[in-house]
Amino acid sequence: MIDTLSVGGKAAAATGGSAAFWEQVREVGSCWIWEGSQRRRYGRFRDLAAHRYAYEHIRSEIPPGLELDHLCETPLCVNPWHLEPVTSAENIRRRSVNQTHCKHGHPLSGDNLYVWRGKMRVCRTCNRARVAEYAARKAGGR
């Protein structure tokens, strides 16, 4: 077991997994950044999420019903010590608590924050735009 990734040889033999996998990883600080193909912000290796591949080959199997949370909040990080198996609900809760802005850059605080059903943090600006767009589509369809 290793604590750091040797950038030169990628320590594939010591860690397990394919040499082809480790050739696509670069060490940046304590994160191991995936530089191969991506889909939806996450690395892909063959038909698997790259972080799942690394976790299962270095640490252990992911328990059924759990998913991996990136403790470093870097979706391309494949360092298995930055990953923790959690329920989907816990992963969403953690991500929501740390999120300061919506995907359009509006702040998720003060008067612009709406907490839906006590769980989901919603941007009021974006929600108003969605409602107006929906109303326009409905009016146009009559």
**Tokens (6 digits) for 141:** 């369809």
Give 76-122 pLDDT, tens digit per residue. Answer: 999 999 999 999 988 888 877 777 888 888 998 999 998 888 767 89
Same domain, 136 and 114: yes
Domain of 139?
99-142
Report pTM. Answer: 0.64
Same domain, 122 and 59: no
Same domain, 14 and 80: yes
Same domain, 74 and 115: no
**What pLDDT shows up at residue 142?**
61
Q: Average pLDDT for residues 126-138, to the nearest whole number? A: 93
Q: 8-38 burial string, b = 16+ CB within 10 Å, else e?
A: eebbbeebebeeebbebbeeeeebbbbebee
Per the structure, the count of domains in the chain is: 2
Residue 27 pLDDT level (bands cut at 50, 70, 90): very high
**What pLDDT shows up at residue 100?**
86
How many C-beta neighbours within 10 Å does residue 125 have?
15
